[in-house]
Amino acid sequence: MKKLIYLSIIAVLFSACEKNMFDEHEDLSLKKVNKITICHNGHPINISINALKVHLNHGDEILDADGDGFSAIGACSGSMDDCDDNDASIFPGAEEICGDGIDNNCNGEVDENCNEGTMTDSDGNIYKTVIIGDQEWMAENMALYVEDGSWAYDNDETNVTTYGRLYNWETAQNVCPADWHLPTQSNWNKLAGVLGGRGIAGGKMKEEGLSHWSPNTGASNESGFTGLPGGFYDSDFNSTGLCINITRYGLWWSATQLRQNANNSYCNGLGSYSILLTILNYPKNDGLSVRCVKD
Ligand SMILES: [Ca+2]
Ligand SMILES: [Ca+2]
Ligand SMILES: [Ca+2]
Ligand SMILES: [Ca+2]
């Protein structure tokens, strides 16, 4: 008698378990899926949906429960890693969606690279951008070709690829595309503030390493600004002008003039020996680098 009760209990437990297991996957039959991949003896196999019940009862597991083409992490030997096998929008190679706190592309990082973007100039050149604080900045120097009022350093076009072009102040007013503008001193000051003030902001704005800067004191590029030492065009040198200080200084125009109609305008400088973001003013006829900031 005792034995019979035991057997009955086991039978009830088994049928309850069996039902739950199948209920969980009821949506699969609703989706009219004919084939499904399961992990069988450590290997993924493709079976007919009609055979699923038998396989699950033998302890096999469904691979890729959410049907996104990737199986759960460690679900079966040789399987691919879906870090959320209950959400078909999350899988390796999916687009990382910013600000949702979810690792959408299963690379182990949440909301990575979310401060980076791109901007296109009026010639179709594409530039990296970076959000620093609440401002979006170009992360490369403007390289738009303009007939008058701009220079390739040393008249060498290969310099443009790395350092962009040098523009006089007038021309610099017009090189930023729609929805972007030449930064004012207010934009630059805000940037410096987010990075801990002008006394240390420069180090956080310089590209790291010695590929372009020489030397490169205190560079971390923590901000992603990736400031480069493009030098400048000195319009006062003899009557011909001269490009100087590449690898030593990066100077970027501000839209803010020293005074109204002054001959000079503010600019902001990074130096190879310094972690400062310096406020300077240069003659408007000189050629300096340009970064645009989003409106
Ligand atoms: Ca999956
Ligand atoms: Ca998934
Ligand atoms: Ca990610
Ligand atoms: Ca995300």
Distance 63 CA to ligand 2 centre (A): 11
Distance CA 277, CA 96 (A): 33
Q: Which two tokens stand for residue 205?
A: 């704005």
Confidence check: pLDDT of 40 > 90 = no
Question: Confidence band (pLDDT; 50, 70, 90) for 32?
Answer: low
Predicted pLDDT at 12 = 40
Q: Which two tokens stand for residue 271?
A: 């130096």
Of the candidates 156, 179, 188, 191, the residue with the CA atom closest to the CA atom of residue 252: 188
Question: Confidence band (pLDDT; 50, 70, 90) for 5?
Answer: very low
Distance CA 130, CA 161 (A): 19
What percent of the chain has pLDDT above 70? Answer: 87
Predicted pLDDT at 25 = 52
pLDDT, tens digit, 9 for 90 and up, residues 183-206: 999 999 999 999 999 999 999 999
pTM (two decimals): 0.69
pLDDT, tens digit, 9 for 90 and up, residues 206-216: 999 999 999 99
Q: Which of 31-45, 115-129, 167-181, 232-246 has the lowest mean pLDDT?
A: 31-45
Predicted pLDDT at 78 = 57
- Asked if residue 229 has a cis previous peptide bond (ω within 30° of 0), the answer is no
Residue 8 burial (C-beta neighbours within 10 Å; 0-12, 13-18, 19+) = exposed
The beta strands (E) that lie in 147-209 are given as 150-151, 166-167, 180-181
When the pLDDT of each residue in the chain is averaged and rounded to a whole number, the result is: 88
Distance 103 CA to ligand 3 centre (A): 4
Q: Nearest bound ligand to CA 101?
A: 4
Calculate mean pLDDT across residues 230-241. 86
Confidence check: pLDDT of 179 > 50 = yes
Q: Which two tokens stand for residue 22?
A: 């199948």
Confidence check: pLDDT of 74 > 80 = no
Distance 87 CA to ligand 4 centre (A): 13
SS (H, E, C) 113-164: CCCEEEEECCCCCEEEEEEECCEEEECCCCCCCCCCCEECHHHCHHHHHHHC
Calculate mean pLDDT across residues 275-295. 97
Q: Which two tokens stand for residue 254?
A: 């501000």
Distance CA 252, CA 290 (A): 5
Q: Nearest bound ligand to CA 84?
A: 2
Amino acid letter, residue 286 = D
Distance 89 CA to ligand 3 centre (A): 12
